[in-house]
Chains A and B, each alone.
Chain A
């Protein structure tokens, strides 16, 4: 294996202390017992890569010495589409970024546009947004746990239970927004429809029954011997590297960094709710699994408080404009804590109906930065589990 070429001397002065890159900690050994390195291309059509994603893995025996992620197979230049359509026209497209969490994508985009235009949001709409976002978090996390167990080889049993429960949630999404997954529900200055008391009652009933399902799910999974053997100590991510590489969401908190945008920014009405941010100790795959379970329990708490406190009233600001919407020239970056991490939208307006720049900061995309660092020194079978615990959706990575 050759080292990467040495960078040509830079015209810009080099500062004294620079962050290190993913230097391989495992060196190939060339002696009579070790053969050549083997390069394996995992993907793009591989059941464990969660979509069209490829990992070029270099192996020394069974140990990974180099791993390069390759993606872009699903690239449709989402940002260019956003620049060529109106502000409202981009809203349905954001559903297709992370297609498991369309409600949080909608909210992040609506938040960015509201910042850009200085648009207030009515009280009830803020509550509806929190309820929908936390429901989305439950759906995403239980599906992730199911998929993670699929990667571990439990042929579909945990995923089946997760999907059985998810079905109840997306039925409620459908009855509110008209669509199970592509909800297209948030608008600039509120939401599209006002939820009825019956709908809120149905959510309340579902949420109150959720801890029972979660206990059952955990009883089946958390102490599972296969899970413990395959995930504890696997794919460790140090807190320094996690911060340096911009990791967000449950993956960051599993490494022991208590950074949650719901707490740090306090966007929407999150400061009103009493909830805790779970933090891991080791940053391994098992902690990343536990983060999801603990966050689901906290989400249930937020949901119960929001459903208890939700006021009556309109869900749409009467002064908001959707058609012929032209924000004043300026720019804004709005971000929220999505289920996978920080999802942000950066918009520049020049006063025309289309944004001059429409940028999506996708959490899965940035979280993939450290996939090589976590997999070095492990086996191919571990890399599958580690990738599963990162929680990527390729619709968002490739955009």
Chain B
């Protein structure tokens, strides 16, 4: 199989104006991936499936990843000098920089016909709140059907063009997306006769403190 750079170059030649970026994997597995722009993702996926040299007819795994917003602190150190040139003190200037969070969908593609793979493709949403729509690849590979429903359920990625986008693992009335990093489990307290540790703290929040007379 041709390597990922060749595939990217072929895609860029075939789809002028498409966004295809190579994402490097620094780990020892060296499974690099292609980040596709949302506008032409489905056409590119169809090309990957039907291209006679690639024939990636089997989408093995589709999954979501949550990348919350990350905060970095940049420190710029400028020495303050006197007239003679000796350093008096070092002025530290700290600036905070926030990279916005996003949700990502990853597909692992193999070829059953040519017996090669994997080719990893990724789609990214604009943010984690209102721009969470990506094109569904279920029309291209039906194996994404349940897996995209699972991503919709657990991550809240909206797949446009999916024929049956409903919750699959959580129940229908459920509101949140439990696989997100900032998900807080509901405070479902159950009474225990001898609470201790974290359960005791929870128990205190659920019951009023005992009257002072009963405390020895």
Q: Which residues of A does B touch, CB under 8 Å? A: 4, 7, 10-15, 17-19, 21, 71-72, 75, 77, 79-80, 115-118, 241, 243-248, 257, 259, 263-264, 327-333, 335, 342, 344, 346, 348-349, 356-357, 359, 361, 365-366, 368-369, 398-399
Q: Which of B97-144 contact A (CB under 8 A)?
A: 106, 108, 110, 112, 115, 118, 120, 133, 135, 138-144
Residues from chain B with a CB closer than 8 A to the CB of A19 are: 139-142
* B29 touching A369, Cβ below 8 Å: no
Q: A12-B161, A348-B65, A369-B145 are in contact. Are A118 and B169 (CB under 8 A)?
A: no
B25 at the interface (CB under 8 A from A): yes
Give chain B nearest CB distance to A21 CB in angstroms. 5
A18 neighbours in B (Cβ, 8 Å): 46, 139-140
Contact of B179 with A80 in the complex, beta carbons under 8 Å: yes
Given A21-B163, A398-B169: A346 and B61 within 8 A (CB)?
yes
Does B170 reach chain A (CB closer than 8 Å)? Answer: yes
* Residues in B neighbouring A80, C-beta threshold 8 A: 178-179
Known interface pairs A72-B171, A398-B169; 5 further A-B residue pairs with C-beta atoms within 8 A, sorted by A's residue number: A12-B39, A12-B135, A21-B142, A79-B154, A332-B29
Chain B 13-40 interface 0/1 with A at a Cβ cutoff of 8 Å (1 = within): 0000000000001111101000000111
Nearest residue (CB) in B for A263 is: B115
Q: From B52-60, B75-83, B197-205, give the one contacting chain A.
A: B52-60
Give me 14 A-to-B residue pairs in the complex whose CB atoms sit less than 8 angstroms apart, sorted by A's number: A19-B142, A21-B139, A72-B167, A77-B178, A79-B154, A243-B58, A244-B142, A330-B27, A331-B27, A332-B31, A333-B61, A344-B61, A357-B65, A365-B146
Q: How far is the CA of A173 from the CA of B118 in the complex (A)?
A: 33
Interface size grouping (class) on chain B: 35 or more
Q: A399 contacts which chain B residues (CB < 8 A)?
A: 169
CA distance A115 to B28 in the complex (A): 7
Distance of A14 Cα from B140 Cα, bound (Å)? 11
Residues of B contacting A7 with CB < 8 Å?
A: 161, 163
Known interface pairs A12-B161, A246-B60. Does A116 touch B27 (Cβ–Cβ under 8 Å)?
yes
Residues on B with beta carbons closer than 8 Å to the beta carbon of A17? 46, 50
Q: A80-B179, A332-B29 are in contact. Are A244 and B60 (CB under 8 A)?
A: no
Please, which residues of chain A bring their CB within 8 A of the CB of B61?
333, 344, 346, 359, 361
Q: How far is the CB of A387 from chain B (nearest CB, A)?
A: 15
B58-A12 in contact (CB<8A): no
B169 contacts across to A, CB distance below 8 A: 71-72, 75, 398-399
User: Which residue of chain A lies nearest to B65 when distances are taken between CB atoms in the complex?
Assistant: A357
Known A71-B169, A72-B168: A15·B28 in contact at CB below 8 Å: no
Sort A-B residue pairs by CB-CB distance and give the 5 closest, nearest first.
A330-B27, A246-B143, A118-B28, A332-B29, A72-B169
Q: Are B168 and A366 in contact (CB under 8 A)?
A: no
In the complex the two chains form, is B60's CB within 8 Å of A335's CB?
Answer: yes
For residue B144, which residues in chain A have a CB less than 8 angstroms away from its CB? 246
CB contacts (< 8 Å) of A263 on chain B: these are 115
Residues of A within 8 A of B139 (CB): 15, 18-19, 21
Expressed in whole angstroms, the minimum distance between the Cβ of A368 and any Cβ of chain B is 7
> Closest A-chain residue to B59, C-beta based?
A246
Contact of A369 among B38, B146, B179 (CB under 8 A): B146
The answer to whether B147 touches A10 (Cβ under 8 A) is no
**B41 contacts A by Cβ under 8 Å:** yes
Min CB distance B173 to A, Å, is 13
Contact of A331 among B31, B39, B57, B142 (CB under 8 A): B31
Q: Min CB distance, B124 to chain A, in Å?
A: 14
A12 touches B146 (CB 8 A): no
